[in-house]
Amino acid sequence: MKIVVTGAAGFIGSNLVKGLNARGIDNIIAVDDLTQGDKFRNLADLKIADYLDAGDFYQQFADGAFGKVEALFHEGACSDTMEQDGKYMMANNYSLSCGLLESCQRQGTRLLYASSAATYGGSDTFSESPEFEKPLNVYGYSKLLFDQRLRRELGAKFEKAQTQTVGFRYFNVYGPREQHKGRMASVAFHQFNQFQANGKVKLFGDYGGYGAGGQMRDFVFIDDVVAVNLWFLDNPEKSGIFNLGTGRAQPFNDVALAVVNTLRQGENAAPLSLEEAVRGGMIDYIGFPEALIGKYQSYTQADLSALRAAGCAHVFADVQAGVSAYMQWLEDSKN
């Protein structure tokens, strides 16, 4: 089985390669842009058959240069939700994806691609249906436009696709191999570094009708994201757009407390309640940034009805379990 992973040196892409390796699959063509050279670390301990620069891959794939490719995991994109260059965003997230779709349909390659919960934006309902799609930034719009094109060409549930086509609306993913993402890395990653440096973590204060640290997101551990992707690889008859979150909204306070208590546990310190952690100065609330006002999702929670109806019964980790495992990985990575 020959597999292509675009964005292979990125966060989700490298974890997918790791997940495929765990199944004994290493005939993998990794595609990425290593202008940010340090991303190579995400692939250094993994097994791949070949590496291609993203600038070379797409036309070669369209020309059939790689022979029969069973499946293509398309994770390559600009994922910076603060990026304001719409022309750049649309070229990377929409136009490239459209060309890839055409190539996959023509060659019989299964396409499993990254959409985003940012397509919902200002909505208060997170179900895979057009009336709930209200992106707040050009990133969310670029992802939504590709979803809309597939619905138009392949049918509402991609039932007209020549081969399996699946879009995953990722919610707030966190976990190993995201260190290269800078400001776009998860809050858990940043809080790990904050606690290591200053003995405290930072959260936004009041905003959007939510108290300090009370804004709620659907936080999903990367291992769960990989498991669902691979479930669809095992079920080639399933196509469509699916939310990929836990179906459980938890406040940012839960993430902060899980970070603090896991790292304190390493020092043999007793776990704290949220009130104790705040009172002890280990959780620090800061003013909400002006740049995010009107562009920030204060609440997300994936509706998993479609995923469950497709037959995927995967059990997702909650924040406490996922963040604890992640903190341990970060600690181990220091050594």
What CA–CA distance (Å, rounded) separates 218 from 220? 6
Question: How far lies 148's CA from each of 33, 76, 153, 241, in Å?
Answer: 27, 19, 9, 10
Q: Catalytic pick from 47, 181, 200, 295?
A: 181
Beta bridge partners of 170: 116, 244
What CA–CA distance (Å, rounded) separates 312 from 300? 21
What CA–CA distance (Å, rounded) separates 252 from 193? 16
Nearest to 199 by CA among 86, 293, 258, 284: 284
| The two structure tokens encoding residue 305 | 């009805």
| The two structure tokens encoding residue 6 | 């675009």
Determine contact, residues 1/70, Cβ cutoff 8 Å: yes
What CA–CA distance (Å, rounded) separates 250 from 225? 18
Strands 28-32 and 50-53: parallel
Close Cβ partners of 226 (under 8 Å, ≥ 6 residues apart): 12, 15, 16, 18, 19
Q: Catalytic pick from 58, 94, 139, 170?
A: 139
295 part of the active site: no
134 part of the active site: no
Close Cβ partners of 35 (under 8 Å, ≥ 6 residues apart): none
The number of angstroms, rounded, from the C-alpha of 74 to the middle of its chain's C-alpha atoms is 12
Determine contact, residues 128/147, Cβ cutoff 8 Å: no
Q: Which residues are catalytic?
A: 139, 181
